């Protein structure tokens, strides 16, 4: 399947907004500014890799080897899309910190 520029831009925007929103809500509920930025790499692993989670503990060598293989085979468009999701998670953390600094107690 070929990815057009329009589809790439829309996908990047959707991932940014999705993870900004999830990060913002988690930061509000858990009162931890960087919770989504810490969780995002785990979410990325689940998106990319098809290995069961338990195998990272029972068969670590093969599971992490396969994960490295999957990461090295990512297309540039996939890297951009996943990177924009991480950027959304980071911007959510910065936004929450700024809101707390300005005195918004609910955040």
| CA–CA dist 43, 34 (Å, integer) | 15
pLDDT tens-digit readout, 5-45: 999 999 999 999 999 999 988 888 888 778 888 899 998 99
Q: What is the pTM of this model?
A: 0.84
**C-alpha 1: how far from its chain's center?**
23
pLDDT at 27: 85
Q: Average pLDDT of 80-102?
A: 92
Instruction: Count other Cβ atoms within 10 Å, centred on residue 54.
Output: 9
pLDDT at 81: 95
Is the pLDDT at 107 greater than 70? The verdict is no
Work out the percent of the chain whose per-residue pLDDT is above 90: 53
């Amino acid at each position: 399947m070929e990815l057009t520029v329009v589809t790439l831009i829309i996908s990047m925007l959707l991932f940014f907004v999705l993870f900004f929103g999830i990060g913002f809500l988690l930061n509000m509920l858990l009162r931890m500014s960087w919770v989504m930025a810490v969780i995002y790499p785990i979410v990325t692993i689940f998106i990319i890799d098809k290995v069961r989670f338990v195998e990272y503990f029972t068969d670590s060598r093969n599971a992490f080897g396969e994960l490295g293989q999957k990461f090295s085979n990512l297309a540039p468009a996939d890297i951009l899309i996943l990177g924009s999701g991480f950027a959304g998670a980071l911007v959510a953390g910065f936004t929450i910190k700024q809101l707390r600094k300005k005195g918004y107690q609910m955040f």
